[in-house]
Amino acid sequence: MIAALCFLVAVLTIAYLEAGTDADRIAEHKPIDHGKELKERVIAVLVCGALICLAFNAWEWRTLYWLPMAWGLFTASFRWWLNRKRGKDMWYIAPWSNNYDRFWYAVACWTWWSDAELRSHEILLRDYEKIGLVDEDLRVAGTIAYITEALVFAAAFTAYTLTNT
């Protein structure tokens, strides 16, 4: 269990650092290559997990539960820190920015927006932001994402705990 907790702290640290980097890039109006960022983050988490397994001799089948735990913890904490650093509502997502946010927006709206539709909607949403409003669909999408990530994390953590050999 100590190895798992160390891994989760490492995941939180990576999420915090990555959120800061992305917030800085967004503030500087620099583009973010989400595909490249995803690969780097997955590699960083996997390397940390492997090093922790080596340090604690924690190579066992149930360590695979760390993967969904990492996903649930990383994505939720990354979004929260990114939004906090940007001064956004904690539920804020940007479906025109990346496919992950677009997925949750599609779930919330029961539709899949084309790039053109999202770009026109982005202009409307930015007008909302200027006067301090958050589009309700974005809030619902963020809520659904947080709930899903928390449930996946909780289920994986519970399974990991219950399978202690």
pLDDT digits (tens, 9 = 90+) for 95-122: 778 888 888 888 887 766 565 665 566 6
* N residues, the chain: 165
> What rounded mean pLDDT belongs to the chain?
87
> Residue 45 corresponds to which amino acid?
V
Q: Is the pLDDT of residue 146 over 60?
A: yes
Structure confidence by residue, pLDDT tens digits, 73-98: 999 999 999 999 999 889 888 877 88
Over residues 45-54, mean pLDDT: 96
Mean local confidence (pLDDT), 26-46: 93
Least confident residue range of 25-29, 36-40, 111-115: 111-115
Our measurement of the distance from residue 10's CA atom to the centroid of its chain's CA atoms, rounded to an integer in Å, reads 15
Give the confidence band of 138 by pLDDT, cuts at 50, 70, 90: confident
- Mean pLDDT over residues 51-59, rounded? 94
Report CA-CA distances (Å) from 90 to 1, 14, 41, 114. Answer: 30, 19, 21, 25
Closest by CA position to 67, among listed 165, 6, 157: 157
Q: What is the pTM of this model?
A: 0.83
